Amino acid sequence: MIYKKIITYGTFDMFHIGHLNLIKKIKEIGSEVIIGVSTDEFNEEKGKKCIIPYEQRAEIVRCISGVDLVIAESDWDQKVSDIRKYSVDCFVMGSDWDGKFDYLQDLCEVVYLPRTDGISTTEIKELLKGFSPTFKKDFNNMFNILDTLRQDLM
């Protein structure tokens, strides 16, 4: 089934293939895709610490092919008003949220899509904690050198 307007929400910190796969799957079943990106303040309220600031996360998502509109998600309760405001006919979340948004079924269809195996922002953050400060410094230096080379070639 193809829905006219689909909405989903997420933090989209450290954008990875799992995020991209979710957006691609949503675009396959919807004509217009609206994505709510959680603000830094809302993430703090949820107990999440973001590495990438809201403005940058929203811009990354905005630039993904198939995304028609990016909105700020600032609280749990706005989903109902957003569904009404944007005349959404399908609400989509990853399967890790299975059942948690069924209360929205009175307003629109609720679909839980499978997650991409083997990738999550939480896992990436945990992995990064294991790197030594020396590795992190060398890693940053490498990117600074590459950026300088790129600029010299332009």
From 46, 85, 100, 137, the catalytic residue: 46
Q: Are 87 and 54 in contact (CB under 8 A)?
A: no
Active site residue 48: yes
Cβ 33 vs Cβ 3: under 8 Å: no
Contact partners, residue 47, CB within 8 Å, separation at least 6: none
**Is 125 noted as a catalytic residue in this protein?**
no
Q: Is 71 helix (H, G, I), strand (E, B) or coil?
A: strand
∠53-56-60 over CA atoms, to 5°? 135
Distance, CA of 20 to CA of 33 (rounded, Å): 13
Q: How far is CA 111 from the centre of its chain?
A: 16
Backbone φ and ψ for 6, nearest 5 degrees, come out as -120, 140
Catalytic-labelled residue, pool 4, 5, 25, 48: 48
Please list the active-site residues. Answer: 46, 48
